[in-house]
A and B are shown apart, each in its own frame.
Chain A
């Protein structure tokens, strides 16, 4: 790809991509902390996960402001236009991932280490899948790699399937143990949050596809999330 004649524009675009990478790194880290704090019932780590959300929010605002300024100043066309628009969307997805991770961390305190042993490994597995998706989708964005993005997009069904089975397990557990409903509800929300993080990764995948190819990913994503009503 040739560089822009106007070097400042080139730098602004690079700066924007770097901010996304930075946001992505923070979101990944926050998610890792949230999952780990859930696994180990680690309050301190949960608190750190909650606090780190602020930096992501701040970066999202910066990305938005810079992107708007670039549209006004550079009047971007074609690939540049798509990249800038997509960057705004991706930053919003990453911000949401941060929010969801924060929400998981908040629930750690409520759940208070009462996660039934049979469920802990399920949560770990979901966490791993979500982390992998987020990591891979950020790599795909950095490399403008559509094929890699599509793999993330397709793999989300595994996370959905895992969520389904955890959902069932939690429901079963609640049926048998009426006094566990309180923390199990939090547990369910935590699982749902992880599943939603996967959805944001697929949003990013769709945006990468649009950015590179100029066309929307139109096929319906393979789904195994049969419970999902809304």
Chain B
């Protein structure tokens, strides 16, 4: 793989995050490569979700959260005053641990984002976006005959794919996933993992996962965090077969504790 040809989607530079007096992240430096899956792993409270939420400024809603350093998306500082956060979040979508479809129809769930971003002029635009997004999320065949049914009536795995369809409906560049499979059964998990693999062709994906096997399966780059520090960042293949850092090794082999 000629890695140096792949562009940096994100450049995280010397990022420190505080929740009030408590520092959650220390001097984080990470490059997220375009059209790759980057996995963030580490024990609970290590800061991996905090970093994920910095990438689309989800931490803005937490008053006590303060961040220093630079997070550049395509070279542009996303914390700069010039950035419109709503626009940023359209470029950087998010999928959460628990599937959280709106209490609306399947159709409306998908078309909601494109509507508020003014992407729909005619109903046919919406139809097209719904079909494409659901197809990309691998859900179309299962729901095409009941687009008017409530999204909340789907199975957990289907709901999560609906949320992914909703996230990609606004044509984002990046999808952030916060433990997207932790509430799903193994088959639904396999479907999401297969989907992640397909989605990386079009999107850049950053995933937080507690399953190391999942990180090993779906990602090309893995970052291991511990106590708010980035301990090791490298090719996933290397991290899981031959990590350079003892802490990483202890964690991924189940020795940490």
Interface residues of B in 217-257 (CB under 8 A from A): 240-243, 248-250, 252-257
Pair B249/A79 contact, Cβ less than 8 Å: yes
Chain B residues contacting A76 (CB-CB under 8 Å) are: 253
Verify if B54 is at the interface (C-beta below 8 Å from A): no
Pair B213/A4 contact, Cβ less than 8 Å: no
Assembled-state Cα–Cα distance A77/B257 (Å):
17
Assembled-state Cα–Cα distance A3/B257 (Å):
9
Chain A contact patch, size range? 10 to 19
Verify if B46 is at the interface (C-beta below 8 Å from A): no
Partner of B254, one of A9, A82, A213, A215: A9
List the B residue with the shortest CB-CB distance to A214: B242
Partner of A5, one of B213, B216, B256: B256
Partner of A75, one of B213, B241, B242, B249: B213
Q: Write the nearest CB–CB distance from B215 to chain A, whole angstroms.
A: 10
Assembled-state Cα–Cα distance A4/B250 (Å):
8
**How many A-B pairs fall under 8 Å by CB?**
43
Partner of A78, one of B213, B253, B256, B257: B253
Chain B contact patch, size range? 10 to 19
Chain B residues contacting A75 (CB-CB under 8 Å) are: 213
Verify if A226 is at the interface (C-beta below 8 Å from B): no
Chain A residues contacting B30 (CB-CB under 8 Å) are: none
Known: A214-B241, A215-B242. A77 touches B255 (CB 8 A): no
Pair A82/B241 contact, Cβ less than 8 Å: yes
Interface residues of A in 201-222 (CB under 8 A from B): 213-215
Q: Write the nearest CB–CB distance from B242 to chain A, whole angstroms.
A: 3
Interface residues of B in 108-133 (CB under 8 A from A): none
Pair A4/B254 contact, Cβ less than 8 Å: yes
Pair B254/A78 contact, Cβ less than 8 Å: no
Pair B252/A77 contact, Cβ less than 8 Å: yes
Verify if A80 is at the interface (C-beta below 8 Å from B): yes
Q: Write the nearest CB–CB distance from A137 to chain B, whole angstroms.
A: 22
